[in-house]
Amino acid sequence: MNAKVLVLTLIGMVLLINISEAQKQIDFGVKGGLNISGLDLSQIGKLVGVSYNVRQGYHFGIYAQARRKNLALQPELIFSNQGQNFTTPYYSNLYTQLNYIQLPVMVKYYLTGGLYVQAGPQISRLTGANGYIMPVDNQGNVGQPTVADLKRYIHQYDFSFGFGAGLELPFGGGISFRYTNGISDINKYSGSTSFPTNGQGQVLTHSLSTSYARNQVFQISLTYKIEKLKIKLEK
């Protein structure tokens, strides 16, 4: 999905929220919780003999919600810590850690009371990428892993789509479950035949290697609606 498609999708959502009702309610709130994340890597280009595992992280941020009857539009501004763990025949407890500022825009449909389902697009901007990498020389010899800045390997922007469900409680609190699946390749070197070197002839191979890579994140969030900022707009 490119930026133009995302913008058109968001415009369509706004128009959907704007239909038919004479009154709408806007709420503001905060949220935060647990990330269980991984990277969907194509088989072609993976590091040989490496096992990839999910990584636990966290997220927190703010949201606004415009609601009319059973339908609501909820944009959010979220910091998300995610990535993956991986093991090799030589080492264990290696990792790739990615930090993003995210802008999800969810369409929510309330089934009954505070119970709802949600779905919508998300655009993310990379703010940090680090982890253990393995330097490999031209003969295939693997050196000691070192902590390194991986931003040179990762595209700055990521596009994804999320869906899930949640429950809002009468006192303003709530819980949300969301799965977000990347729809863009975050690896700058997917399909590449060469990597950057460290200036001494060592090729800097990282955990994504030359695989096509997409973010995958399951989030469990606690939410709280700030009642004192609740307002109503009349046509």
Per-residue model confidence as pLDDT tens digits over 173-230: 999 999 999 999 999 988 877 666 655 655 666 778 888 999 999 999 999 998 655 5
Cβ burial of 144 (10 Å; 0-12, 13-18, 19+) is exposed
142-176 confidence digits (pLDDT tens):
777 777 788 888 999 999 999 999 999 988 899 99
pLDDT of res. 100: 98
pLDDT over threshold 50, residue 21: no
Residue 139 or residue 164, greater confidence: 164
Q: What confidence tier does 19 reach under pLDDT thresholds 50, 70, 90?
A: very low
| Of 78, 195, 58, nearest in space to 133 by CA | 195
Q: Contact 222/173 with Cβ under 8 angstroms?
A: yes
pLDDT of res. 47: 76
Rounded Cα–Cα distance for residues 132 and 8 (Å): 39
Q: What confidence tier does 232 reach under pLDDT thresholds 50, 70, 90?
A: low
Q: Which domains does the chain have, with CATH numbers?
A: 3-229 (2.40.160.20)
Residue 108 CB: number of other CB atoms within 10 A? 21
67-112 confidence digits (pLDDT tens):
888 999 999 999 999 999 988 877 777 899 999 999 999 999 999 9
The encoded tokens of residue 43 equal 């088989």
pLDDT over threshold 70, residue 60: yes
Cβ burial of 211 (10 Å; 0-12, 13-18, 19+) is buried
Residue 218 or residue 66, greater confidence: 218
Residue 234 or residue 111, greater confidence: 111
